[in-house]
Structure 1
């Protein structure tokens, strides 16, 4: 399970008592500045600040931190993350991560397409050997024609109707070709087979190309949204402040089996984020909130 990156401030808090630098702190809990940077990049890309679920050792370290230094500790550790995000290094790392993970435009290979067209045409022709398969071809054409007519009629009443990966011209092409080919089944079966196979294979390749183009458009839109990362960070800071506001740190708990649970069922039903903040204590949460509020003001 994953939790928001703001939890980083809590996760490494206990270790800060024994070390003077962030590198020492992170090393003590089995990670490093480079790992925090990597996690930051991946979390922003995912649309949320997040990190692996913290274990009991880390929670205990946070809980054992003396109250007098918790707030300052959260502010100091928060600055490590904030300074990295504000640096040219983060932008370089983050943009490189986007480029590596968002699929770019699909380049059309005409030679490969021609070879695939030939292979599929031979396959389809090989299956048109009996009246049953020929009737199946007729049914396919009629279904294509019916769908095209229906869509074109709908577009007359609603010209702005979204068509997904299809265009109006695609339905016009289907209607024209299916209308032309269908009568050949009665007048010239050999011509029908040839024209049907060419039409069917062409439709398959057109559909696949349209899907690739549609995916490329979505990828371009996704890339543009991701590169504008400040709104992502701002949204997560706002969500953290909302989730951590007004926590009743005096809420009673009790043992239940090998777990500690809240006496009040309403508190026990709270999200894991809320319970995590509760266990870290009021001073640690106060420091993290002060950091988040300050960063949020800078991002306005």
Structure 2
């Protein structure tokens, strides 16, 4: 917590500048927050549309804008709003661990008790039947009484197999949940960004007519993930500033 407070305090000058950047380029803070939340929790690369004024910034000013916007993101992660939304998004409250099944012996005992109760009720009803039907009913009840009792082992096997299958699915679902500590999720997202943004070739050649969708001349570049292409469009200065900010942020989370 102390590291978080110090980190946010150091961000205050950047936050003041961030307000200017957001206002100047008409970017809503909620857009930055939504983009960050989606990337941290869902790994989504959704980004709000970038204003033309921001695209037109000279390279020397892009790094400053990135740092300012990074401060907004960092402040949001430290807010109660993010913590609450993150906790709600995990969905672990909806996961219920399956209850262990009853043992075969317990099931056999329950079946025996139920059978005995049913027999007692049936025998009580015998005297209400016509005399010619009572003999046949007594014979049927005797057959039920003399039946081979259920095998406790076999009774428990099916339920145990079903329980193990449910338990496996439960554990798999829990493993896919984001970590309970949001700081770990943020750190993982930042590390993922550093990995995806590494080695961007800012001199890569684009092909296609001006004004129409353009693509990389190299097919392996065209197959790169969206984050890699996003960094290419942002430019070297902005990308290096974002990577530096991410590395510093990771340090504050350790």
TM-score normalised according to structure 1 size? 0.50
**Matches of 1:99 and 1:229 in 2, distance apart?**
8
**Pairwise CA distance, 1:173:** 3.5
**Distance in structure 1 (CA, Å) of the matches to 2:230 and 2:94:** 42
Alignment counterpart, residue 195 of structure 2, candidates 238, 242, 247: 242
Over 3 Å counting, the alpha-carbon distance change for 1:177 and 1:104 in structure 2 is same
Question: Once the 2 structures are TM-superposed, how far is the Cα of residue 258 of structure 1 from its aligned partner?
Answer: 3.0
TM-superposed CA distance for 1:47, in Å, is 5.0
Decide whether the 8 Å contact of 2:38 with 2:46 is kept in 1. no
Corresponding position: 1:97 with 2:97:
no
Say which is worse superposed, 253-262 or 164-173, in terms of deviation. Answer: 164-173
> For 2:77, which of 85, 93, 101 is the aligned residue?
85
Q: 1:22 aligns with which of 18, 28, 37?
A: 18
Q: In structure 2, what is the Cα distance between the partners aligned to 1:242 and 1:222?
A: 22
Which deviations, in whole Å up to 9, do the C-alpha atoms of 1:73-107 show, x marking residues without a partner?
Answer: 21222122223434xxx1x223433565547589x
TM-score scaled by structure 2?
A: 0.58
1:169 aligns with 2:102: yes
Query: Unpaired segments of 5 or more residues in structure 1?
Result: 1-19, 107-163, 190-206
Does residue 260 of structure 1 match 2:214? Answer: yes
Q: 2:46 aligns with which of 42, 52, 76?
A: 52
Name the counterpart of 2:9.
none
**Distance 1:291-1:182 versus aligned 2 partners, 3 A rule:** same
User: Which protein shows a greater Rg?
Assistant: 2
The correspondence for 1:270, drawn from 208, 224, 228, is 224
Matched, 1:66 2:58: yes
1:141-220 alignment, distance < 5 Å: 165-169=98-102, 172-178=105-111, 187=141
- Residues in 2 aligned to 1:242 and 1:73: alpha-carbon distance in whole angstroms: 22
Residues 233-287 of structure 1, C-alpha deviation per residue, up to 9 Å, x if partnerless? 1111111111111111111110069310011111111111111111111011011
SS of the aligned residue for 1:259 comes to coil
**How far, CA to CA, are the matches of 2:227 and 2:142 in structure 1?**
71
Going from structure 1 to structure 2, the CA distance change for 1:74 and 1:30 (only over 3 Å counts) comes to: closer
Distance 1:188 1:292, change over 3 A: farther
SS at 2:102's partner residue?
Answer: helix
Cα distance in 1 for residues equivalent to 2:237 and 2:113: 78
Q: Give the distance between the partners of 1:51 and 1:29, measured in 2 at CA.
A: 21
Q: Name the residue aligned to 1:286.
A: 240
Contact 1:59 1:279 in 2 (8 A): no
Gap change, CA 1:177 and 1:262, over 3 Å in 2: same
Aligned to 1:128: none
Aligned with residue 232 of structure 1, among 185, 188, 199: 185
Report SS of the residue matched to 1:267: helix
Root-mean-square deviation (CA, aligned residues, Å) is 4.2
- Helix, strand or coil for the counterpart of 1:169? coil
4+ residue runs over 6 A deviation = 182-185
Q: For residues 31 and 71 of structure 1, do their structure 2 counterparts lie closer, same or farther at Cα, with a shift above 3 Å needed?
A: closer
